[in-house]
Chains A and B, each alone.
Chain A
Amino acid sequence: MDPFDTAAGWLQEHFVIPLLYQLDMMQWEDVGYGWALFAVYGVAQVFITLAICLPLERWRPVETWPDAKAVTIDVVYTLINRIGVLPLVTFVLFYQVQVWLTGTLTDHGIVPPTLELLIPGLLGHQILTFVLYAIILDFGEYWRHRLSHMFGWWWALHSLHHAQRQMTFWSDDRNHVIDEVISFLWSAAIALLIGIPPLQFPLLILVLRFLESLSHANARVSFGRAGNRVLISPRFHRAHHGVLAAGQQSCNYGAILPVWDIVFRTADFGREYVRTGDPSGEEALHTGTWWQQQSAGWRRMVAMLRRKRSKSARSRAGTDLAA
């Protein structure tokens, strides 16, 4: 039997169910099982990432640091996100929303679109459908990331991700909570549009996030001239994190496939293994505690929104005067 299923079953029987029973929440037992399953996948994913990335980083590090204290916070981000938060939102929350939405549409005589029904012959071909879903989500991810650099308030949040000067495979989950929420809503909206099954969505997110972890690794790893154009390598994503690329004008926004950067002309394959970080960001974003980083992000976002509003108010006053 699938060891993940066995582990999830064990977690459900010995942890989730007794807990739900204690809390008078037994009606959530089925949903609880979904959480258990994806928490197990989350743990496995962290271990697989470790097993692959740690040797890579030891073998060919881009940078070596006298002490790697700044990395610890990224480990915290990763564990919270992959084991706790992601299974909860990508399964429990997404599931509720999807069932409600598709049911409502069905009631109004609209059969919600699903990829399997749009493309005949796809039903039953789970792996192929899975790959198609992944490609579509990755396309969405490219634009979300690109927009998060473009808008000032959004960049104020996303700059937390870029603030890391000791970038490792742990850095993928280093994000502002609000940025993470937007990111979830964004991919969930796409998932609803193309009808990703509630049990596949969290799995897709896990696979995508695993590849994204790899691309953050502190390792001199490149997939070669051709390979770099097929799959995003640590070298490619490091260029995006380079000190010169921090800010509203950047390059290499892609998460998994470089094709979107190539098509939309934002790819830069030329940069070698550059130094990472955001020189314009404040120190709290670099070396603060989890809480300090989060509040700094929040403060910066509010300031950007205020500045925007006063700017538009000023320009309105200007036109008033002219009139």
Chain B
Amino acid sequence: MKKLLLALSLVSGGLLPGLAAARPLAFVINSAEASVSMIDMDTKEEVKRIPVLREPHHMALTPDGKSLLIGDTAGNAVFFLDPVTGDVQRRATISDPYQLQYSPDSKWMVVAGLARNQIDIYDAATLTLAHRIPASSMPSHINFSPDSSVTYVSLQGTDALMAIDVHTGAVLWNTKIGKSPAGVLWLDGKILVGIMGADYVAVVNPANGAVERKIVTAKGAHNLFISPDSHTLYVCNRVDGSISVLDPKTLAVRGRIAMSGGPDDMDFAPDGKIWVTRRWAHTVALLDPATGQFTTIETGRSPHGIWLNTHPNQPAPTRVSAK
């Protein structure tokens, strides 16, 4: 009986991806190891380590959900992985893909080249370069307005946020908003940006880049994620070693969960656990947000981007512009 079940699960998970529920997998990018860890979310074991070329950081799911794109910065390549099996489908040459993200209308893919100080706007369907915007310096995180007309990119080297018209590639504004800005999230008509060189999240006016409010979280506010039910906003704090829990409506801080090891990207599992990459601890944490307790799974060195295939048609939560 066990064998039969195993065979069935193999068939459903590996061979006939479209038919049955796919095997739940977590994809974790190991930035300082040129690989991607594929973790079975049921057994909590790493089932495969997929080699890439040089230094991958972030990923994006194609709008049709058929490929998971892994951006390899120093390798100047994007690897297309099968989100069900982890097999490499193909490799495309793309200059310095540090962050990559599709627009909500699926028409564009924006790539931030942190090392080369450039923001590239690609036609999503053909991956042809539509616009290249010089962006000094160190463009890192990306988000969009819900209508996909504007993309917002944080510039870590110049403490600024840049707004770009996606269709024309024109820079709408480029405004200083705080020291070393990182994660960017559109929320209820405002842009939230984690101010990594300080201890707050800046609430920015999308029309002109003016900072309207500062929400103090903790030192090294980095990236922002909204829970699938939209009831909670999480902010990881790099220097403090914690995750702040906020009310997305009022932006009031509800609490703070201690997590050492440089918590970075996160994704939400169906069982309510939050999977968090811990950059300097070489693990991914499975956090129970109710208790603040977490267990860990070992990954490669410097785990960064993470995506769970349990929401097969959705990119990671920070990638979506919450309306």
Task: Count B interface residues, CB 8 Å.
Answer: 40
Interface 1/0s, chain A 1-22, versus B by CB < 8 A? 1100110111011000110010
B76 touches A103 (CB 8 A): yes
13 additional A-B residue pairs with CB within 8 Å, beyond A21-B220, A124-B51: A9-B261, A9-B262, A12-B262, A13-B280, A26-B196, A26-B220, A27-B156, A27-B197, A33-B302, A99-B74, A99-B96, A103-B113, A106-B95
Q: Is A102 an interface residue (CB 8 A)?
A: yes
A103 touches B34 (CB 8 A): no
Q: How far is the CB of B202 from chain A (nearest CB, A)?
A: 14
Residues on B with beta carbons closer than 8 Å to the beta carbon of A168? none
Q: Is B130 an interface residue (CB 8 A)?
A: no
B220 touches A116 (CB 8 A): no
Q: Is A289 an interface residue (CB 8 A)?
A: no
Interface 1/0s, chain B 127-138, versus A by CB < 8 A? 000000000001
Number of cross-chain contacts by CB at 8 Å: 106
Interface residues of B in 104-161 (CB under 8 A from A): 113, 115-116, 138, 156-157
Contact of A197 among B34, B116, B238, B260 (CB under 8 A): B34
A6 and B241 CA atoms in complex are apart in Å by 16
Interface 1/0s, chain A 254-290, versus B by CB < 8 A? 0000000000000000000000000000000000000
Given A27-B156, A99-B74, CB of A199 within 8 Å of CB of B115: no
Given A5-B301, A21-B239, CB of A197 within 8 Å of CB of B179: no
Contact of A103 among B116, B219, B260 (CB under 8 A): B116
Q: How far is the CB of A290 from chain B (nearest CB, A)?
A: 33
Q: Is B93 an interface residue (CB 8 A)?
A: yes
B156 touches A33 (CB 8 A): no
Residues on A with beta carbons closer than 8 Å to the beta carbon of B238? 17, 26, 29
Residues on A with beta carbons closer than 8 Å to the beta carbon of B280? 8-10, 12-13, 33
Residues on B with beta carbons closer than 8 Å to the beta carbon of A8? 280
Task: Count A interface residues, CB 8 Å.
Answer: 41
Q: Is B267 an interface residue (CB 8 A)?
A: no
Q: How far is the CB of B303 from chain A (nearest CB, A)?
A: 11
A95 and B32 CA atoms in complex are apart in Å by 12
Q: Is B279 an interface residue (CB 8 A)?
A: yes
- Interface residue stretch chosen among A77-85, A107-115, A152-160, A211-219: A107-115
Q: Is A147 an interface residue (CB 8 A)?
A: no
Which chain B residues have a beta carbon within 8 Å of chain A's beta carbons?
31-34, 51, 53-55, 73-74, 76, 93-96, 113, 115-116, 138, 156-157, 179-180, 196-197, 219-220, 238-239, 241, 260-262, 279-282, 298, 301-302
Interface residues of A in 3-54 (CB under 8 A from B): 5-6, 8-10, 12-13, 17-18, 21, 24-27, 29-30, 33-34, 37
A198 touches B55 (CB 8 A): yes
Q: How far is the CB of A22 from chain B (nearest CB, A)?
A: 10
The 4 closest A-B CB pairs, nearest first, are A9-B280, A99-B115, A27-B156, A26-B180
A2 and B300 CA atoms in complex are apart in Å by 10
B197 touches A24 (CB 8 A): yes
Residues on A with beta carbons closer than 8 Å to the beta carbon of B179? 24, 26
Residues on A with beta carbons closer than 8 Å to the beta carbon of B220? 17, 21, 26
Q: How far is the CB of B96 from chain A (nearest CB, A)?
A: 4
Q: How far is the CB of B279 from chain A (nearest CB, A)?
A: 7
Interface 1/0s, chain A 86-104, versus B by CB < 8 A? 0000000001101110111
Closest A residue to B197 using CB positions: A26
Given A5-B301, A24-B179, CB of A99 within 8 Å of CB of B53: no
Closest B residue to A196 using CB positions: B54
A199 and B32 CA atoms in complex are apart in Å by 7
Q: Is A123 an interface residue (CB 8 A)?
A: yes
A10 and B179 CA atoms in complex are apart in Å by 24
Residues on A with beta carbons closer than 8 Å to the beta carbon of B156? 26-27
A197 touches B54 (CB 8 A): yes
Residues on A with beta carbons closer than 8 Å to the beta carbon of B95? 103, 106-107
A197 and B281 CA atoms in complex are apart in Å by 22
B261 touches A13 (CB 8 A): yes
Closest A residue to B180 using CB positions: A26
A197 touches B55 (CB 8 A): yes
A151 and B197 CA atoms in complex are apart in Å by 49
Closest B residue to A5 using CB positions: B282
Given A12-B280, A26-B179, CB of A197 within 8 Å of CB of B74: yes
A100 and B113 CA atoms in complex are apart in Å by 10
